[in-house]
Chains A and B, each alone.
Chain A
Amino acid sequence: MSDDLEVIHRVLNGDAEAFRLIVARYEHAVIRMLRNITCDAESYQDLAQDVFFTAYRKLRTFDPARSSFSTWLFTIARNKSINALRRKRPVVMSELPETAVRNDPCEQLQQRQVLDELDRQLAALPAAQRRAFVFAEFEGLTYDEIARIESTRIGTIRSRINRAKTKLRAAMEKLCT
């Protein structure tokens, strides 16, 4: 965190190249988060570049007293993902392709098919549940951090994550029976 502030200070004093350190530090987390939230194999890298560019432009508005830099950056990424999903037609459960996965025993399935099916189940979750789940399970953020990013109460986040987990667990159990 103090490292981030030092780099931010350098950038704000005109050393734009120092921002490369920020990109290097957070690129994996931002790209991973956007891929899992948007479930879009094509455009998430462009979206991630957009997140960093926006962060650079708005760096003056970052207030360390209000949140950590990573929370602030994830908030930008979250907003970009919502805009990107608005432009895209949402995936609904009834449109998901029926796969052989549902009826066959797990041992006989290709591992990849099972994991792909879980990807589809994740993509079919409501966007807010998917975001909360990805932040908590894939990014390891605390409920408090997620609540700040989503501008909502911790209880709401807890319930979104629980609902997402229940749906995904049910899907996994179905795949394994």
Chain B
Amino acid sequence: MKVDEIYRLWKDRAGQVKPLPDFRDGVMNRIYRYEAQRRTRLWDSDWLLDWLAGRPLVKAALVAAGAMGGLLRVAFVAYALLHC
């Protein structure tokens, strides 16, 4: 056998995959379970995280707001201590 022939045979074999007969149903069942759980939940943190993941500006704004809140708190404590 030549190298090229082996390579072709190997590549053909690597391409021969069969999904399990219930593969699609398995995926869809997980999706339906997920949707059913999501509908009964009041607070969907997954959705919020996914929503934030695609919005870098919102993430930056939240971090900036958090940092600002922290600074204001430190300033307030310092002010309270100095004026007691």
Contacts and interface: CB of A to CB of B under 8 A. Distances in A.
Q: How large is the interface on A (under 10, 10 to 19, 20 to 34, 35 or more residues)?
A: 35 or more
A172 B17 CA distance: 23
Contacts of B83: none
Contacts of B7: 172
Given A28-B19, A111-B9, A114-B6, A61 B27 contact: no
A56 B3 CA distance: 42
Interface residues of B, number: 29
Interface of B: 1-3, 6-7, 9-11, 13-15, 17, 19-20, 23-24, 26-28, 30-32, 34-35, 46, 50-51, 53-54
Contact of A32 (B1, B15, B20): B15
A115 B28 contact: no
Interface of A: 16-17, 19-20, 23-24, 27-28, 31-32, 35-36, 45, 48-49, 52-53, 56-58, 60-61, 63, 106-107, 111, 114-115, 118-119, 137-138, 169, 172-173, 175-176
Q: Give the one of B6, B11, B23 with max A CB within 10 A.
A: B6
